[in-house]
Amino acid sequence: MGKVALTVEQRGALAMTPALQQAIGFLALSNVDLSARLADLRRQSDALAQVVEDRPAQWLSLMRSVSAPGAAKGAMPLSQRGLGGSESDRIVQGDPGLVAHVSAQIPLLLRKKSDRPIAEALLMALEPSGWLGESVAQIAEAMGVPIARVEDVLSQMQGAEPTGLFARSLAECLLLQARERGLLTPAFQRLLDHLPMLAAGKLDDLADLCGCDLEALQGMVRALRQLNPKPGAAFCDAPVPALPPDLVLERDGEGWLLTLNAATTPSLHLSADGGPPGARREAKTLIQAIERRNATVLSIAAEIVQRQDAHLRGLGAIAVLTINDLAAATGFHRSTVSRVTAALVMKIPRRTLRLRDLMCAAAPQTRHLEDPQSVRAVLDRMKALVAEEDPASPLTDAAIAEILLPEGAALARRTVAKYRSLAGIPARSARRKA
């Protein structure tokens, strides 16, 4: 006679709350489209009159620090840096309004007139945010002077108004302002040293590190929110682009600072009016959905930045990165990753692109590689081969495949022809006629 066994199995499932449902719907919207969607929701529901949008964005909740793997490895000299290759001339980062404003202060800041050329080199490295876009070592090498001397001039230039200019990182920018306001206690210094923990919401651990209780920590965080993370932005007089970016990526010391564009990201809070409980509940759900959407966007974009660190520094082609890779790394469903990467645009140094532009599949490989070549890297290699070929005897598709094979790319002749078309490379016959 057969035995009947009773087993108990526990399964976890994500509760599809109203806030989560709304957040998923918001993921496929750019910041501008999201603002328009919120306006429609408020017109359709009297309950959402409880939601007010007149408060400035809380910058701490819109930022994410991204530490680069192997930071500062392979740094290129000033004359060769760039996103897609080399540049012959150095690009001035600072906004003209900001440059003129600081230039007028230089005679008042420097102790020695002989330091003026170094001060001007620092000024030319100033980014629109007010941060220093080059490392002290790079500037010292370009000027042919000791690093210590550049450090000394930099400390003088950091006395410029508004306070926070010429900082090399977010923490240093806030430190300069905290020192000026008399906020820089040992506990506040430790708070600045652990900003990623604050962004992650680890308040209890952070309070232990700062040697204070939670109430004191919250008081320091309120003071921190009053500081300006981008003191140079007020001088920017560049025209507003037709499609403003949803995210902004800037250098932060050896890493990166990723920010949701505060100018276009909705910042909501409940009005002070009472209102029916049901109305306030609906309004809170909407606010939670926005916060969840923003956190999801930052997490996915931060993973992309970390994976493509070398390319963003101009040190290589785009690495292999797919939707499945991002889903596995962030813990989000692949449909969530797909929505975010398809919808949002990010401004990186010197240009603006879609998040999807920083993703690429792997090219067919001859063997298993820890870091396989991306299709984009193979396309760049094909362009280089064609640029170096003998014009009288251009390379055939089969010859290109043979050259790429020892380098790890296993491409059939037909695949080379397809890739050549994607790269905009004419056929051999057309290249021979040209």
pLDDT of residue 216: 92
Q: Tens of pLDDT along the chain (434 residues)?
A: 556 655 555 554 545 566 667 777 888 888 888 888 887 877 777 666 666 655 545 677 788 888 877 643 333 332 222 323 323 233 334 456 788 888 889 999 999 999 999 999 999 888 888 888 888 998 999 899 999 999 999 999 999 999 999 999 899 999 999 999 999 999 999 999 998 888 777 889 999 999 999 999 999 998 998 898 889 877 765 554 556 899 999 888 888 999 998 888 887 777 666 567 777 787 788 888 888 899 999 999 999 999 999 888 888 888 889 899 999 999 999 889 999 998 899 998 878 888 998 988 888 876 666 677 888 888 888 888 888 888 888 888 888 888 888 887 888 888 888 888 877 888 888 888 76
130, 413, 428, 429 from 392: Cα distances, Å:
52, 21, 10, 11
Q: Are 271 and 35 in contact (CB under 8 A)?
A: no
pLDDT of residue 84: 31
Rounded CA-CA distance 6/23 in Å is 40
pLDDT of residue 87: 31
Answer whether the bond into residue 196 is a cis peptide, omega within 30°: no
What amino acid occupies position 38?
L
Q: Are 250 and 350 in contact (CB under 8 A)?
A: no
Q: Could you tell me how many residues make up the chain?
A: 434
The tokens for 113 are 């007139």
What predicted TM-score, i.e. pTM, was given to this entire model? Answer: 0.70
pLDDT of residue 90: 33
389 HSE (CA, 13 A, CB side)? 22
The tokens for 198 are 């604050």
Rounded CA-CA distance 6/9 in Å is 10
Q: In what helix (H) or strand (E) does residue 141 lie, and over which residues does it extend?
A: helix 136-143
Phi, psi (rounded to 5 degrees) for 179: -65, -40
Using the structure block, give the residue that is written with the tokens 């001088």: 235
pLDDT of residue 282: 79
State in Å, rounded, how far the first CA of the chain is from the last one: 86
DSSP 8-state symbol, 57: P
Q: Please choose, from the candidates 197, 196, 119, the residue with its C-alpha nearest in 3D space to the C-alpha of residue 152.
A: 119
pLDDT of residue 412: 84
Rounded CA-CA distance 227/130 in Å is 14
Helical segments of 163-320, H only: 170-180, 186-193, 195-199, 203-210, 214-225, 277-307, 309-312
Q: Are 330 and 61 in contact (CB under 8 A)?
A: no
Using the structure block, give the residue that is written with the tokens 């057309």: 430
Radius of gyration of the chain (CA): 26
Rounded CA-CA distance 78/119 in Å is 17
The 3-state secondary structure of 332-395 reads CCHHHHHHHHHHCEEEECCEEEEHHHHCECECCECCCCCCCCEHHHHHHHHHHHHHHCCCCCCC
Rounded CA-CA distance 154/159 in Å is 9
Q: In what helix (H) or strand (E) does residue 51 lie, and over which residues does it extend?
A: strand 51-52
pLDDT of residue 74: 36
Q: Please choose, from the candidates 313, 231, 296, the residue with its C-alpha nearest in 3D space to the C-alpha of residue 260.
A: 296
Using the structure block, give the residue that is written with the tokens 């490895």: 73
15 HSE (CA, 13 A, CB side)? 3
Pairing verdict, β 345-348 and 247-252: parallel
Write down the CATH number for the domain with range 375-433.
Answer: 1.10.10
DSSP 8-state symbol, 246: S
Domain coordinates in residue numbering, the chain:
18-65+246-358, 182-225, 375-433
